[in-house]
Amino acid sequence: MSTRRELLALASGAAVAATLPAAPAQASGRPAAGPRWTGTWAAAPTTVPPTPPTVLEDQTVRHVVHVSTGGDRLRVRLTNEFGEQPLVVGEVRVARRAGAGASTATLPGTDRPVTFSGHRSATVPAGAPLVSDPVSLRVPAGTELTVSVYLPRRTPVTTLAAFAFQDNVIAAGNVTAARTVTPTSVVGQNLFLSGVSVASDAGAIVTLGDSITNGANTVANLNHRWPDRLAERLRAARIDRGVLNVGVSGNRLLHDPNPPAGSDAVAYAAYFAQSALRRFDRDVLAQPGAEYLIVLLGVNDLGHPGTTAPASEVVSAADLIAGHRQLIARAHQAGLRAYGATVLPFKDDTLGFYSPENERKRAALNHWIRTGGEYDAVIDFDAAIRDRADPLRLAPAYDSGDHLHPNDAGMAVLAAAVPLRLFR
């Protein structure tokens, strides 16, 4: 869920708890022996639209990532999961970031090389991720890292997270070890990078959703997405958990992107990612130390048919409930606790999602989430952010202006609606 103007610009430029399980779930991604790992930052990878992709050669991409939980060792996860050719990586280095906002400078004494099976260069197979060797670096919770990736050969950008809400930079040559770099371009995307984990027993919360989880319409470089604000609350309460944001703008629960031929959406719909049902194993279950799942999905399934997807993909409330039940079943099978978040109101939105029929479906889905007893707990985002004078709309103080996405203040309200006792 992003404005058509934003998407076209991007394409052209490249709280009531229900019953809880009696005992803690067995965390996924935790081996019986050896170091345990917990995800501290994540980005869900997608493919790119059917237009000539951005091509990099003899260039460094420096990413800024905001970690949730800390540790003394880390691992980096690269991704070539939508590439059709091997991805050749010349060098990767990680450091703590100096400064704030859009700064990509590194803190002196913190720069470290990242190796893969002992080698500084690596080839990521087509269709696969690649996890690094452990890197010794103290990473305080709530701080930022830079992850610099050098691409020596001609490299079409085929795998990325298109909506980072963080300024990352591209620079000429191999400047992975430089404290500061001179950008040749600035991109609000994560290129070939999908995760950072730390050696920790903390366990991770995975937030699965669409643009509202991804952070749409928040101010870039401030980390005001609701999962970031939730991580702040957890740290303040001394509850040590990783928070992994795998929200994707435009994502649907039930359908992959399917823009009508000849429509503007052809230029950007691929960024919306595979359906949540399809990407669940990769983006949720494969996360290191995943113990908890928060799901906020359904509004794009209601709003996309007839706008950025064919009208034939109209779904019912029963279809959405069945999809949520699958997420719950798969999460429980893997030992995760699953928490359902109610879908936010969107009356009079500027994207053309709202209709009385879609409102009836939203109400039916939210009623099931609240009363069905199938999620392990309920997080009532709808109740927290709706307008008291017109409950079918976002409260004006929390509306980014499109009547669909919360603003930065609204994101804080969503984070405050999450009961922290769910993660103790």
Q: Which range among 100-104, 159-163, 331-335, 412-416 shows the weakest confidence by mean pLDDT?
A: 100-104
Average pLDDT over residues 338-348: 99
164 and 245, same domain (yes or no): no
For range 367-377, the mean pLDDT:
98
Taking each helix axis from N to C end, the angle separating 356-371 and 317-333, rounded to the nearest 10 degrees, works out to 30
Decide if 32 is inside a domain: no
Same domain, 76 and 214: no
Average pLDDT rounded to a whole number, residues 304-318 = 97
Report helix, strand or coil for 42: strand
Task: Mark which of 138, 163, 196 sits at the end of a domain.
Answer: 196
| SS3 sequence of 290-337 | EEEEEEECCHHHHHCECCCECHHHCCCHHHHHHHHHHHHHHHHHCCCE
**Contacts for 8 with CB less than 8 Å, ≥ 6 apart:** 264, 267, 268
Task: Decide if 33 is inside a domain.
Answer: no
Q: Let me know if residue 35 belongs to a domain.
A: no
The values of phi and psi at residue 29, to 5°, are 75, 15
pLDDT tens-place string over residues 276-293:
999 999 999 999 999 999
Q: pTM higher than 0.75 for the full model?
A: yes
Q: How far apart, in whole angstroms, are the C-alpha atoms of residue 180 and residue 278?
A: 39
190 part of a folded domain: yes
Mean pLDDT of 114-129: 98
- Do 265 and 403 reside in the same domain of the chain? yes
Q: In whole numbers, what is the pLDDT of the chain averaged over residues?
A: 93
| Residue after which a domain boundary falls, among 161, 196, 231 | 196
3-state SS assignment for residue 6: helix
Percent of the chain's residues with pLDDT above 70: 92
Of the pLDDT bands very low, low, confident and very high (cuts 50, 70, 90), residue 102 is confident
pLDDT of 350 reads 98
Query: Which residue segment(s) compose the domain that 128 sits in?
Result: 45-196
Of 178, 196, 214, at which residue does a domain stop?
196
Same domain as 235, residue 192: no
Same domain, 237 and 182: no
Judge whether 357 lies within some domain. Answer: yes
Q: What is the pLDDT of residue 35?
A: 73
Based on the domain organization, do 98 and 134 belong to the same domain? yes
Inside any domain, residue 109: yes
Domains identified in the chain, total number: 2
Q: Within this chain, do residues 299 and 410 fall inside the same structural domain, yes or no?
A: yes
311 and 266, same domain (yes or no) = yes
245 shares a domain with 144? no
Same domain membership, residue 248 and residue 171: no
The confidence band for 12, taking pLDDT boundaries of 50, 70 and 90, is: very low
Indicate the pLDDT class of residue 33, thresholds 50, 70 and 90: low
Are residues 254 and 151 part of one domain? no
Task: Give domain status of residue 29, yes or no.
Answer: no
Dist. CA 176–CA 375, nearest whole Å = 44
* pLDDT band at residue 384 under the 50/70/90 scheme: very high
- Tell me, what's the pLDDT at 31? 45
Residue 124 domain-assigned?
A: yes
Share of the chain above pLDDT 90, in %: 91
- CATH number of domain containing 205: 3.40.50.1110
Residue 100: per-residue pLDDT: 87
On whether both 281 and 410 belong to a single domain, the answer is yes
What is the model's pLDDT at position 128?
98
